[in-house]
């Protein structure tokens, strides 16, 4: 079985019963990679990689310089599909011009941790789910070593609040499996953010019942069709 990505989870939830079975069959059979619309894949790399760098230290003009670079590339390429891709990435980056990244992380020294690829699979009800946050970071709070994580995700037309909560839920489980033996998880800094609408949901909001995660529900529905 292929690893199940965020894109698979969200697409599955949006499909009809008949098309859900087709998606599950595709997951079970190795497929050629599709870069058209992934929740963090090649189509959105220009925007996501830049935003990821900005989250770390937000150097002056990083985002505006990237926008200028993509505008120049848009003028260079003749393919309309390529032009559209750059334009969509530009639109996302424009959302983050002047954005205060400090509200997504604790205002203290952060130590960014390694994210081994072999730790990216999280088994939930025996299904291999793929978690790929941009950053996992450690910080000290009241003499405790805590961890947080940020996952910038992109999809055409964005995500609903419940879909974003589902991604946050997976992110928390990823942290719990890989880091909780050494660090305490800071739920308020376990955050998924939809870069299309600049909407974010922390795991503390999920546990408080502000938004419901669909993760287990989706996993159970997928299992029925395998």
- Domain residue extents for the chain: 32-101, 104-225
Q: At 14, is the secondary structure helix, strand, or coil?
A: helix
DSSP code, position 118: G
Q: Supply 62's token pair.
A: 């990083």
Distance CA 129, CA 123 (A): 6
Distance CA 29, CA 23 (A): 10
pTM: 0.92
Residues 6+ apart with CB under 8 A from 79: none
pLDDT (0 to 100) of residue 2: 82
Helical H runs in 15-122? Answer: 17-28, 45-57, 62-76, 80-95
pLDDT (0 to 100) of residue 59: 81
Q: Supply 2's token pair.
A: 């292929």
pLDDT (0 to 100) of residue 36: 40
pLDDT tens for each residue of the chain, 226 residues long: 788 999 999 999 999 988 999 999 999 886 555 444 434 458 999 999 999 999 998 888 999 999 999 999 999 887 899 999 999 999 999 999 999 999 999 999 999 999 988 899 999 999 999 999 999 999 999 999 999 999 999 999 899 999 999 999 999 999 999 999 999 999 999 999 999 999 999 999 999 999 999 999 999 999 999 8
pLDDT (0 to 100) of residue 42: 81
Q: At 53, is the secondary structure helix, strand, or coil?
A: helix
């Amino acid at each position: 079985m292929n690893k199940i990505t965020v894109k698979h989870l969200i697409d599955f939830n949006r499909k009809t019963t008949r098309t859900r079975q087709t998606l599950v069959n595709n997951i079970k059979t190795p497929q050629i990679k599709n870069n058209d619309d992934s929740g963090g894949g090649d189509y959105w790399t220009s925007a996501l990689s830049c935003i990821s760098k900005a989250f770390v230290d937000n150097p002056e003009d990083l985002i505006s310089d990237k926008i200028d670079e993509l505008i120049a590339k848009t003028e260079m390429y003749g393919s309309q599909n390529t032009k559209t891709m750059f334009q969509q990435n530009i639109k996302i980056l424009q959302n983050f011009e002047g954005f205060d990244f400090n509200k997504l992380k604790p205002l203290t020294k952060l130590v960014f941790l390694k994210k081994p690829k072999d730790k990216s699979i999280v088994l939930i009800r025996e299904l291999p789910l793929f978690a790929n946050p941009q950053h996992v970071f450690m910080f000290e709070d009241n003499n405790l070593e805590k961890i947080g994580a940020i996952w910038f995700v992109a999809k055409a037309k964005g995500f609903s609040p419940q879909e974003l909560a589902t991604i946050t839920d997976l992110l928390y489980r990823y942290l719990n499996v890989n880091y909780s033996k050494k660090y305490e998880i800071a739920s308020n800094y376990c955050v998924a953010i939809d870069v299309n609408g600049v909407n974010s949901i922390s795991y503390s909001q999920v546990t408080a019942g502000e938004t419901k995660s669909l993760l287990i529900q989706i996993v159970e529905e997928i299992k029925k069709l395998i």
